[in-house]
Structure 1
Amino acid sequence: MSPRLQRRPVERRGLNLWPVGPVLALAFAVALLVAGGVFYTAWELLGARGLKPEHRLDSSTLFDLVKLSFGVVAGAGALVALIVAYRRQRVDEDGALRDATRLHTERFTTAVSQLGDNAPAVQLGGVHALAGLADDAPTRALRQTCIDVLCAYLQLPHTPDPGTDNPAVQEEHHRYLALRTVRHTVLRLIGDHYRLPVGTHGSWQGCNLDLSGITIDATIDFSGATFSEGLVNFHRATFSSGAVGFAGATFSGGELRFDDATFSGNHMVFINATFSGKNVYFGNSTFSGSTMYFDGATFSGGTVRFDRATFSGGDLRFTDTRFSGGNVSFGSATFSGSDVGFGGATFSSNTVHFDRATFSGGDVNFAGALGDAPSGLVPGAGESLPPGLALPNTWMP
């Protein structure tokens, strides 16, 4: 079953204001309590033991009492005005949000209609319209809706390229190329928006991406992006060509899923990436012709799992990678034809595991690796290394 996207709490819409009568009564009660508290504190600080009886008030005292009365009335009026102004501002803000949401919905309907058109050029316009709507969305939930529609478009089945050998299918071939341009544009826009820093206009960092089951034959670039929350889902995706770049990216939260994916001809780049808290899954994936580079990456937290993955071709490199924390697991993985290199990698804290992994071909080379040997690699006394596995002499019993 495909992993489901993490649900976000539904954003509250509309106002939830108390009736003005109870609010004013409560405000007056609080004001009286505060005034009483101030009076009592002043009484204690002055050390008063009682009131001196007076039978007459002079004009100065009477004038002070009148000023005090007017001050109380003015303060009460100011309090009422403040409460009314606050409520009016809340109502105005809610009205502005409703207007913005209404306008967004109208534009959204138009953009989705364009995306569903038969003409690729109109679809391309719908793609850019939805991306712009996501940037200008008045709430995060509405931004996520726009992104979900773009991801759903990529998940739609599409007719494969009929080729160019038969002149009778030239029109179908040209249509295939046009629709491929639309799909590639969606992938490019996703990468462009994810690379923008959090908090800047147009940044989609933290939003969910459901790209499960799609075919990636283009470049999507997440270089330098920060993944601190949300789910980026490539479950059961097929990477047939192009490149997916995570160079210099930071993975500190949320999930990145490539489980059950097929890597048959593309490039995956995690060079100088930092894994400090995010969970990254490659479990049950098949690597038959792709290249994947983790050179210079740092693993200090989180979980990266290649459990039960099959490496039958292509290259997987961890040159000068540092494993200082977290959990990197190749449990029950099968190495039968890929070139896997850990040259210059540093291992510590028992963070990397190859328990029950199978080596039957290819080249899995730990030459030049430093630190503690990952579990599941070093053979017992009198046992030989499996075919294709090379370990430093310092790790051998």
Structure 2
Amino acid sequence: MLLMLAIAAVTTLGAAWLIWFMLGNGRLPKLNGDTAGLELIKVALAITAGIGATVALVVAYRKQRLSEAAEKRERAKHFHERYVTASEQLYSATAGVRQAGVYAMASLADDWDEGRQNCIDVLCGYMRMPYTPPEQPVPEGATPQQVAEYERNEREASMDRHVRRAVMDTIGWKLRAVPVYGNTWHEHIFDLTGAVIDGGDLSGARIIGGWVKFDGARFTGKVVRFNDASFSGGFVTFNDATFDSGHVDFRATRFSDVIVDFSGAKFSGATVSFDEGHFGAMLLDFRNSELTSGFLALTNAEFAGSTVAFDFAQLQGGKLGFDNSDFSAGSVGFEATRFGGSSVQFDNSEFTGAAVTFAGAKFLDGRVTFHNAAFRSPSVGFKYAHFKGATVDLSTPNTYTSPPSFDDFPDGVPEGLILPDPVGPTKD
């Protein structure tokens, strides 16, 4: 800007000197004759006016830039003050103030595009704080003082549950909105690693990118809703999470172009339902997971291009259901899975194209049934499987035009493997 002002000053002085020179030397143009001199003066005056206008524009632009910078600093200061206030509320000793802090932080995240991830991190950080859900049993043989302390802890936990539920519901509320890149909560990271989750409504959420992390989390006691959600990008991970009670509901959820990872998860009492789910081109990973009790339901589902992996899983108890499902494309793998006591049901399902493999699986205990199933594609295989105590019942299929494939059985069909009569297994 200083350079432009200097150039303008020099140019203006030059034009002024030119006029002075002409006047000072008696060369003022006459009205009736010296048209060249008159035009020269006009040019000099025009140059001077143009330079003046340019200087005025530069000065105005500079003022605007300074004003915008000041406004930006003021805006940043305002957001910072709101952030500090909401954080202080969120970590107040009073539950009602903490809940107000949840909504204040969420409101700030809506307004502050550059700081939205920071606000989300604070809310998720609250969920990762130590927490014991209420409704715990009174310690046996507790003294009156211990009972009083127990009752006080129960009251505090009950109030904190409302705050934590507000965090989960707020995340669900924001993810139900129509995604607008850079202006909504979608495509951000929600780190709930190790959190205790005992309720929350994320039904209808739209996961289109980013990362929702429940790794090592514990789901207990209440209902967590993901029903009618759509997962169409990014990552949703439950690595090593524990589902010990309550209900995690993924009913009627649609999955495509996303990785949903339950590898290493432990299902020990909860109901986790994917009933009526649609699994497109995506990965649903249960590798190395453990099912000891409860119900893992993939019933009434459509597998139309997904990769569903239960490889190396331990199915020791509880129930795993694929009833009334359609396996049309993609793959479902139980490679090297240990069937050690769970009830696994494929009843009334249709196998029309998806590769369903039990290669190397060990059927040691429990029951696997295919009652009224339709085998219309040679895509179900039990190659290298071991049958040593469990019941695998294929005796009553609806359709058996493309039976499952097995190894040869030189010593006869293993005990526990029940095939349709008189149709036996096919051989490669």
Please report the TM-score for the alignment, with normalisation by the length of structure 1: 0.73
Aligned partners of 1:86 and 1:374: how far apart in 2?
Answer: 68
Aligned residues: 344
Pairwise CA distance, 1:76: 8.6
Mapping for residues 1-16 of structure 1, pairs under 5 Å:
none
User: Is residue 179 of structure 1 aligned with residue 160 of structure 2?
Assistant: yes
The farther-off stretch of 157-166 and 230-239 is 157-166
Residue type at the aligned position of 2:296: L
Q: 1:89 to 1:351 in 2, by over 3 A?
A: farther
Look up the SS of the partner of 1:277 in the other structure.
coil
User: Is residue 147 of structure 1 aligned with residue 120 of structure 2?
Assistant: yes
Aligned partners of 1:371 and 1:82: how far apart in 2?
Answer: 73
Contact 2:203 2:227 in 1 (8 A): yes
User: Is residue 259 of structure 1 aligned with residue 232 of structure 2?
Assistant: no
Aligned partners of 2:45 and 2:273: how far apart in 1?
Answer: 77
Aligned partners of 1:385 and 1:343: how far apart in 2?
Answer: 24
Contact 1:208 1:232 in 2 (8 A): yes
Aligned partners of 1:87 and 1:93: how far apart in 2?
Answer: 10
User: Cα deviations across residues 148-188 of structure 1 (Å, max 9, x unaligned)?
Assistant: 11111111113565766855233333223222222222222
Aligned partners of 2:58 and 2:392: how far apart in 1?
Answer: 75
Q: 1:151 to 1:83 in 2, by over 3 A?
A: same
Aligned partners of 2:317 and 2:178: how far apart in 1?
Answer: 39
User: RMSD in angstroms over aligned alpha carbons?
Assistant: 3.7
Mapping for residues 107-126 of structure 1, pairs under 5 Å:
107-126=82-101
Pairwise CA distance, 1:75: 8.8
1:30: which partner in 2?
Answer: none
Report the structure, 1 or 2, having the larger strand content.
Answer: 2
Residue type at the aligned position of 1:110: T
Structure 2: runs of 5+ lacking an equivalent: 8-37, 360-380, 405-425
Q: 1:202 to 1:69 in 2, by over 3 A?
A: same
Structure 1: runs of 5+ lacking an equivalent: 1-18, 26-62
2:105: which partner in 1?
Answer: 130
Contact 2:259 2:283 in 1 (8 A): yes
User: Cα deviations across residues 219-254 of structure 1 (Å, max 9, x unaligned)?
Assistant: x22222221111110000000122222222222221
Look up the SS of the partner of 1:118 in the other structure.
coil
Contact 1:331 1:354 in 2 (8 A): yes
Residue type at the aligned position of 1:298: H
2:25: which partner in 1?
Answer: none
Contact 2:357 2:382 in 1 (8 A): no
Contact 2:133 2:158 in 1 (8 A): no
Contact 2:175 2:207 in 1 (8 A): no
Pairwise CA distance, 1:386: 6.6
Q: 1:133 to 1:366 in 2, by over 3 A?
A: same
Q: 1:104 to 1:370 in 2, by over 3 A?
A: same
Report the structure, 1 or 2, having the larger helix content.
Answer: 1
Task: State which of 333, 340, 354 in structure 2 corresponds to 1:360.
Answer: 340
Aligned partners of 2:385 and 2:244: how far apart in 1?
Answer: 38
1:97: which partner in 2?
Answer: 72
Task: State which of 135, 157, 162 in structure 1 corresponds to 2:130.
Answer: 157
Aligned partners of 1:308 and 1:252: how far apart in 2?
Answer: 25
Aligned partners of 2:2 and 2:253: how far apart in 1?
Answer: 55
Mapping for residues 288-299 of structure 1, pairs under 5 Å:
288-299=268-279
Q: 1:175 to 1:317 in 2, by over 3 A?
A: closer
Pairwise CA distance, 1:356: 1.1
Look up the SS of the partner of 2:174 in the other structure.
helix
Contact 2:196 2:219 in 1 (8 A): yes
User: Is residue 231 of structure 1 aligned with residue 211 of structure 2?
Assistant: yes
Aligned partners of 2:84 and 2:165: how far apart in 1?
Answer: 23
Q: 1:72 to 1:256 in 2, by over 3 A?
A: farther
Contact 2:334 2:357 in 1 (8 A): yes
Structure 1 vs Structure 2: percent identity of aligned residues? 34
User: Cα deviations across residues 34-61 of structure 1 (Å, max 9, x unaligned)?
Assistant: xxxxxxxxxxxxxxxxxxxxxxxxxxxx
Q: 1:356 to 1:94 in 2, by over 3 A?
A: farther
Contact 2:109 2:119 in 1 (8 A): yes
The farther-off stretch of 91-100 and 223-232 is 91-100
Look up the SS of the partner of 1:319 in the other structure.
coil
Aligned partners of 1:222 and 1:163: how far apart in 2?
Answer: 29
Look up the SS of the partner of 1:324 in the other structure.
strand
Pairwise CA distance, 1:388: 5.2
2:187: which partner in 1?
Answer: 206
Task: Return the index of the structure with the highest Cα Rg.
Answer: 2
The farther-off stretch of 191-200 and 149-158 is 191-200
Contact 1:359 1:388 in 2 (8 A): no
Please report the TM-score for the alignment, with normalisation by the length of structure 2: 0.69
Look up the SS of the partner of 1:291 in the other structure.
strand
Residue type at the aligned position of 2:109: A
Pairwise CA distance, 1:123: 2.1
User: Is residue 347 of structure 1 aligned with residue 320 of structure 2?
Assistant: no
Aligned partners of 2:197 and 2:385: how far apart in 1?
Answer: 47
